[in-house]
Amino acid sequence: MSIPAAQTTAPATTDPLDAAALREDFPILGEQVNGHRLVYLDSGATSQRPLAVLDAERDFLTHTNAAVHRGAHTLAAEATDLFEDARATVAGFVGAEPEQLVWTSGATMGLNLVAYSIGNASVGRGAPASTALALRPGDEIVTTAIEHHANLIPWQELAARTGAVLRHIPVLDDGTLDLDVASELIGERTRVVAFTHVSNVLGIVNPVERLIALAKDVGAVTVMDACQSAPHLPLDLPALGVDLAAFSSHKMMGPYGVGGLYGRAEVLESMPPFLTGGSMITTVTLDGAEYLPPPQRFEAGTQPIGPAIGLAAAVRYLDGIGLERIHAHERMLAERIRAGLVEIPGIRLLGDAAGVERVGLWSFDVEGVHAHDAGQFLDARGIAVRVGHHCAAPLHTRYGVTASVRASTALYNTPDDVDVFLDAVSGIRPYFGV
């Protein structure tokens, strides 16, 4: 059988996006929360799924559920075809070839896979050129001060295991990266440069082309966290020139438990496996094994077959609307949020840089009110936002706060959602008597 292409309420055009019409594709948005219409502004944490995605995964489980790459029976063959078709669809969404896309459980696994593979490179097993990636004491890993913990802690651990030195590109007061310092930090000892495309706290689209160019000049491997860009910006990862990039399905209208790791073919070929076991081998004896080429080399064990098929439906849905339209719509929402927040006394935006490209995401501090209290106030009015340090504690420390409130939009949010949110935010400090 074949899963039908995801359908959208509106076909892809250059016209402005009609979010109100698209909301019909997301049944959860019709729910009432605490007696109010749900205003969902937490898509930066996890996005809602359209019916097309729910239907695709359900259809697979109902009609074709079987293990892939293992069975010789009809269902197994059909499941394998759907699974590999999903790989091709998701790879094409980011401009890649199917063999350049590794299935993971999400971006966290993808980034850990890269870090641990590089850590295993000194052994020289599993990849013919893996020793070229090996880190030695004194080698340097450069990341940034704005990273999600998933693109920071793996590098801390890798540095500790190998004796490499971990360095950080600082963030300026306005939320932009200090590229002058970046030019000084990335040098002849740099072996890895890891960075986020879009900050999950600040919403700023970082100048990753510049970081990639600096890394290429010294022969360093580049690793990009694309979680907050894949659902919101058109991506062509090969054209961008990045070596490796990870993204998560559940942030881009897809199911939980699956994600993608893109890699340039020659980089993936040079990486030894991270997990070992079934499905990633060619031959096995009691004393050793030989491994498949990428991407299967990195896909040990039973894969997230249904979620992968659901993710393919999600990217067809996004493609059907058009990433340019989505980005323009969310940029409009971001401008509307900022215009309202700056007029509310006691609100401080984090990373309020002027003239930079950004997605529809803002984090802010409410003077005199803890972020968790502010979030509960909004939740009582049916408004879902994220509160805390958003898995970016060092960045919050940089701004002198332990936590913030984050409102993040998606293609299904409307100007009315923003206005309801702004009206509620204006009542936070008066309610707490500040």
Alpha-carbon span 265 to 262, nearest angstrom: 9
Nearest 10 degrees: Cα torsion 119, 124, 130, 135: 40
Residue with tokens 């002198």: 400
In our burial notation (b when 16+ CB lie closer than 10 A, e otherwise), range 236-257 reads ebeebebbbbbbbbbbbbbbeb
Report helix, strand and coil shares of the chain as percent, to nearest 5: 40, 15, 40
Alpha-carbon span 406 to 271, nearest angstrom: 37
Catalytic residue among 391, 418, 420, 422: 391
Alpha-carbon span 172 to 240, nearest angstrom: 25
Tokens encoding 346: 């006691």
Question: How many alpha carbons lie under 13 Å from residue 255 in its C-beta half-sphere?
Answer: 21
Alpha-carbon span 194 to 319, nearest angstrom: 28
Nearest to 238 by CA among 74, 387, 98, 86: 98
Nearest to 207 by CA among 173, 183, 184, 190: 183
In our burial notation (b when 16+ CB lie closer than 10 A, e otherwise), range 369-408 reads bbbebbbebbbebbbbbbbbbbbbeebbebbebebbbbbb
Is 391 known to be catalytic? yes
Alpha-carbon span 392 to 45, nearest angstrom: 13
Burial of 73 by CB count in 10 Å (0-12 exposed, 13-18 middle, 19+ buried)? exposed
Contacts of 365 (CB under 8 A, 6+ apart): 347, 348, 350, 371, 399, 401, 404, 405
Nearest to 270 by CA among 298, 302, 232, 242: 298
- Decide: helix, strand or coil at residue 35: coil
Tokens encoding 33: 């929360």
Q: Catalytic positions, please? A: 391
